[in-house]
């Protein structure tokens, strides 16, 4: 499968070292495969039921732990009927496993033995787990302020944990330096186009769970956009197949402690401004990115679908986390942002709100 640059549209050949466009530096996408309901493997209750629509050859052994096909649970919340998509019901407790299963399958196919990634925690834990299963050595670079539960999860899977002082971007700089100077392969969940091959299946799944319909609104935390953009691509594939007549409104939620995408949306611009000052850490650590690499694509998805980007405060997130728990949903603060946004947004129709990471990763008593 070819890789296509999201910026200059150059075509590149996939390889372990190809994680961004060599011409313009923008993120790459895997050449699109059409959505084909007739090819769904109905008795496979994981996202690999869509294997014919994923960029993995038929004869390649996959690295899987049954990820995907997460519950869709209806509940009354903030005076509205909401369909909560429980992405925290995943092998490592977050939606990241969707992308990791495809990414690590490709890494093993290529014969890669040693990888590195930078993460705010959940992607690192996911990569550590799937690399353990695939027999690949992993080094995970995390901000030193990452929750202790996520750090323990990463090192318990046997990955080498590198703690980097400063904002999330410093961890990215550290891994890029290690990749440039050692034999480490950059298995970046944020950059790799294979991540989005995995996360696009959330759109496919929702279409199946709603019996051949898409929701009217899709609400998700947005930082690097791996779930948000994956879902958007999944819905676009279904639209292109003529199976729905319009895309859901794509609604992204950020923490107002670090909200470059919400600010760009408000300002009507198509790229985020560069934030150079050091921001205070937000309790929504999973989406606290000062320089999101997919900003243009995220803003385009929002505007194309008449969606919006909502910023919520740490206090609103804390209340929402407790409120969700009172309804039976135990999520980390990064996930609770969607519930805080449901209180602010005016949404109509069938609303899906994704709950992306387990509360076990950052319980409320750590926060007060």
> Footprint of Zn ion on this chain (CB under 5 A)?
5, 7-8, 10, 21, 23-24, 26
Between CA 160 and CA 231 the distance in angstroms is 31
Minimum CB–partner distance for residue 21 and Zn ion (Å): 3
Minimum CB–partner distance for residue 179 and Zn ion (Å): 19
CA distance readout (Å), 36 to 74, 105, 170, 261, 337 = 27, 22, 41, 33, 33
Q: Phi, psi (5° rounding) for residue 76? A: -85, 130
Minimum CB–partner distance for residue 23 and Zn ion (Å): 4
Residue with Cβ nearer Zn ion (24 or 269): 24
Minimum CB–partner distance for residue 4 and Zn ion (Å): 9
Helix (H, G, I), strand (E, B) or coil at 139: strand
Which of 130, 116, 158, 132 has its CA nearest to residue 67? 130
Residue with Cβ nearer Zn ion (26 or 354): 26
Residue with Cβ nearer Zn ion (24 or 273): 24
Residue with Cβ nearer Zn ion (21 or 125): 21
Which of 195, 104, 105, 124 has its CA nearest to residue 357? 124
Residue with Cβ nearer Zn ion (6 or 224): 6
Residue with Cβ nearer Zn ion (10 or 18): 10
Minimum CB–partner distance for residue 1 and Zn ion (Å): 17
Minimum CB–partner distance for residue 20 and Zn ion (Å): 8
Strands 2-5 and 11-13 turn out to be antiparallel
Q: What is the 3-state secondary structure (H, E, C) of 155-206?
A: HHCCCEEEEECCCHHHHHHHHHHHHHHCCCEECCCCCCHHHHHHHCHHHHHH
Minimum CB–partner distance for residue 29 and Zn ion (Å): 11
Beta strands in the chain (DSSP E): 2-5, 11-13, 28-30, 72-77, 80-86, 114-118, 137-143, 160-164, 185-186, 217-221, 249-255, 308-312, 351-355
Between CA 141 and CA 76 the distance in angstroms is 39
Residue with Cβ nearer Zn ion (6 or 101): 6
């Amino acid at each position: 499968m070819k890789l296509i640059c999201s910026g200059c549209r150059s075509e590149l050949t996939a390889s372990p070292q190809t994680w961004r466009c060599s011409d313009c530096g923008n993120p790459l996408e895997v050449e699109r495969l059409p959505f084909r309901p007739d090819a769904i493997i109905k008795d496979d209750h994981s996202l690999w039921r869509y294997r014919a629509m994923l960029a993995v050859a038929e004869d390649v052994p996959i690295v899987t732990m049954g990820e995907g096909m997460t519950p869709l649970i209806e509940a009354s919340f903030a005076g509205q009927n909401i369909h909560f998509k429980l992405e925290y019901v995943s092998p490592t407790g977050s939606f990241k496993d969707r992308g990791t299963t495809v990414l690590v399958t490709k890494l093993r196919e290529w014969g890669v033995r040693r990888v590195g990634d930078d993460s705010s925690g959940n992607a690192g834990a996911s990569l550590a787990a799937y690399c353990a299963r695939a027999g690949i050595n992993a080094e995970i670079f995390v901000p030193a302020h990452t929750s202790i539960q996520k750090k323990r999860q990463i090192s318990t899977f046997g990955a080498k944990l590198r703690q980097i002082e400063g904002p999330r971007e410093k961890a990215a700089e550290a891994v890029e330096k290690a990749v440039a100077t050692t034999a480490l392969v950059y298995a970046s969940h944020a950059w790799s186009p294979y991540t989005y091959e995995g996360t696009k299946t959330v759109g496919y799944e929702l279409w199946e769970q709603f019996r051949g319909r898409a929701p009217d609104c899709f609400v998700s935390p947005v930082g690097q956009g791996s779930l948000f953009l994956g879902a958007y691509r999944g819905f676009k594939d279904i639209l292109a197949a003529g199976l729905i007549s319009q895309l859901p409104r794509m609604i992204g939620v950020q923490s107002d402690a670090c909200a470059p995408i919400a600010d760009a949306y408000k300002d009507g611009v198509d790229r985020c401004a560069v934030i150079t000052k050091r921001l205070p850490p937000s309790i929504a650590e999973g989406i606290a990115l000062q320089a999101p690499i997919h900003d243009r694509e995220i803003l385009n998805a929002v505007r194309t679908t008449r969606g919006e980007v909502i910023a919520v405060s740490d206090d609103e997130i804390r209340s929402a986390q407790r409120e969700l728990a009172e309804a039976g949903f135990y999520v980390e603060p990064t996930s609770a942002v969607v519930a805080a946004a449901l209180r602010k947004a005016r949404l109509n129709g069938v609303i899906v709100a994704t709950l992306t990471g387990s509360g076990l990763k950052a319980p409320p008593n750590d926060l007060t």
